[in-house]
């Protein structure tokens, strides 16, 4: 089975069943993964507006249906490497984007994102594979 990491934007659309058909075609036959960052962001989105229990249960069910990439030492070191390289280039990147990129690079998995510009530096300088 081929795995693909869903950026938070794609994961959110997938959860809401609002993923455009072009994206559904790109992701067909692939096993979706999310990072610990996306799980955290999606949980925050549910908590801040006080989603109803049924909506929250739907999110939890969806999150349980995808593989979650965990934080580990390799991911932490990859994040540090990405962060230092971005600072040296004068292009400090948002922390959550770097964590997501670090998870993908550590696992050698592509990232499905509609925010390609947010990850272009990681693609250009570090070989992050993007589906966008």
- Which H or E run includes 131? strand 130-131
- Rounded to whole angstroms, how far apart are CA atoms 82 and 93? 9
pLDDT above 70: percentage of residues in the chain:
100
Average pLDDT over residues 3-24: 96
Please name which of 59, 77, 69 lies closest in space to residue 111, comparing C-alpha atoms. Answer: 69
pLDDT above 90: percentage of residues in the chain:
94
Residue 64 has pLDDT above 90, yes or no: yes
Domain boundaries, the chain: 2-131
Q: Are 101 and 122 in contact (CB under 8 A)?
A: yes
Average pLDDT over residues 97-111: 98
User: Which pTM value belongs to this model?
Assistant: 0.94
pLDDT of the residue at 1: 86
- Rounded to whole angstroms, how far apart are CA atoms 48 and 27? 30
Looking at the domain that runs over 2-131, which CATH code has it been given? 3.40.50.1010
């Amino acid at each position: 089975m081929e795995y693909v990491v869903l950026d938070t934007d794609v994961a959110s659309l997938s959860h809401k069943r609002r993923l455009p058909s072009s994206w559904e075609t790109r992701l067909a036959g692939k096993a979706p993964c999310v990072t610990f960052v996306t799980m955290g962001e999606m949980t925050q989105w549910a908590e801040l507006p006080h989603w109803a229990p049924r909506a929250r249960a739907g999110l939890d069910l969806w999150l349980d249906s995808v593989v979650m990439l965990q934080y580990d030492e390799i991911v932490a070191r990859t994040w540090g490497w990405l962060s230092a390289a971005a600072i040296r280039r004068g292009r400090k990147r948002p922390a959550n984007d770097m964590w997501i990129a670090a998870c993908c690079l550590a696992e050698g998995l592509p990232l499905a994102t509609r925010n390609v510009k947010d990850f272009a530096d990681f693609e250009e300088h570090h070989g992050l594979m993007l589906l966008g």
